[in-house]
Amino acid sequence: MAKQIEVSGLDAYYGAHKAIEDITMTIEPRTVTAFIGPSGCGKSTFLRTLNRMHEVIPGARVEGKVRLEEQDLYGPDVDPVSVRRTIGMVFQRPNPFPTMSIYDNVAAGLRLNGRFSRSELDGIVESSLKGANLWNEVKDRLHKPGSGLSGGQQQRLCIARAIAVRPQVLLMDEPCSALDPISTLAIEDLISSLKTDYTIVIVTHNMQQAARVSDKTAFFNLAGQGQPGKLIEMDDTSRIFTNPGMKATEDYITGRFG
């Protein structure tokens, strides 16, 4: 189920502004890869190019290649809609559909993909909520609105919604930045357990979090205001945090800038 992602020579633009430049990296299957770097360095932009969410912003475009197991995601006959069905995403702010119940939120993606019988849906909703560590908290109120949950529960609901469609890859854009420490811990535990089934990419501002949950870490930086962000280095997380190859990485993780 989990697949490898290969990126080569990728640039992303907002109109005339180049946000990231010449990024090349390989993201291994069944691992957690963390993107770290100062604000504005393009790590979220880069994440959004991986499932073609970047281009939904008016004027935004991408150059370069992203391959998911030999398949070019930016190929001429590739439908971005089907790319997004294969590569799921969890956002910074929890965004369950406010008019839908908890059950319908989890089933939303499935209902887009095709017909499921009631019992199939029930089964997938239950397993997805269990997978997101939320089942025990919501099993008695599946048909209440998802907006009634706490922030941490809402975020886990969004993770359940994303994994319900069985994606190959799960992208997480600062999934804990709006949450309290206990909810953050719950999400981090969840990320570790999801790793056995999915390729996970997480953007985070929290370096302890990157160190705790990820196997690989990529450090992004930008030369100055208005300059495009670049990948500085990518390596095993333990190595990045103990013995980084580049001076800029060391300065950033030891808190000397950023």
Partner 1 sequence: MRRSAFRRSRGDAPFRLASTGAGVVLLAIMAAIGVFLVVKAIPALQANTSNFLTEKIWNPNAVEPAFGIGALAFGTVLSSFLALVIATPVAIGVALFISHYAPRRLAAVLGYVVDLLAAVPSVVYGLWGVVFLVPFMRGPSEFLNTYFAWIPIFGGDQVVGKSMLTASIVLAIMILPIIAAISREVFLQAPKTQEEAALALGATRWEMIRMSVLPFGRPGVISAAMLGLGRAMGETIAVALILPATFGISFEILGPNGNSIAANIANGFGEATAVGRGALIASGLVLFLITLVVNMAARLVIARRKEFARAA
Give contact residues for partner 1 (rule: CB under 8 A). Answer: 51, 53, 56, 58, 81-82, 84-86, 88-89, 91, 93-101, 108-109, 112-113, 145, 147-148, 154, 158, 161-162, 165
- Closest contact distance (angstroms) between CB of 52 and partner 1 is 9
Nearest approach in angstroms of CB 109 to partner 1 is: 4
Nearer to partner 1, 36 or 50 (CB): 50
Residue number with CB closer to partner 1 (71 or 254): 71
CB nearer to partner 1: pick between 114 and 181: 114
Q: Which lies closer to partner 1 via its Cβ, residue 102 or residue 231?
A: 102
Please say which residue, 81 or 182, places its beta carbon nearer to partner 1: 81
**Nearest distance, CB of residue 192 and partner 1, angstroms:** 22
Nearer to partner 1, 52 or 217 (CB): 52
Residue 176 and residue 206 in contact, taking contact as beta carbons nearer than 8 Å: yes
What strands lie across the sheet with 71-72, from one edge to the other? 71-72, 60-68, 5-14, 17-27, 229-236, 216-222, 32-36, 199-203, 169-173, 87-90
Exposure on the CB side of residue 98, measured as CA atoms within 13 A: 2
Task: Work out how close the CB of 56 gets to partner 1 at its nearest, in angstroms, rounded to a whole number.
Answer: 6
Q: Compute the least distance from the CB of residue 112 to partner 1, in Å.
A: 6
Give one DSSP letter per residue of the chain, joined into a string. Answer: ----EEEEEEEEEETTEEEEEEEEEEE-TTSEEEEE-STTSSHHHHHHHTTT-GGGSTTEEEEEEEEETTEETT-TT--HHHHHHHEEEE-SS----TTSBHHHHHHHHHHHH----HHHHHHHHHHHHHHTT-HHHHGGGTTSBGGGS-HHHHHHHHHHHHHHT--SEEEEESTTTTS-HHHHHHHHHHHHHHTTTSEEEEE-S-HHHHHHH-SEEEEEEESSTTSPEEEEEEEEHHHHHHS-SSHHHHHHHTTS--
Complex with partner 1: residue 170 or 232, whichever CB lies closer: 170
Distance in Å, CB of 120 to partner 1, minimum = 18
Q: How far is the CB of 84 from partner 1 (least distance, A)?
A: 4
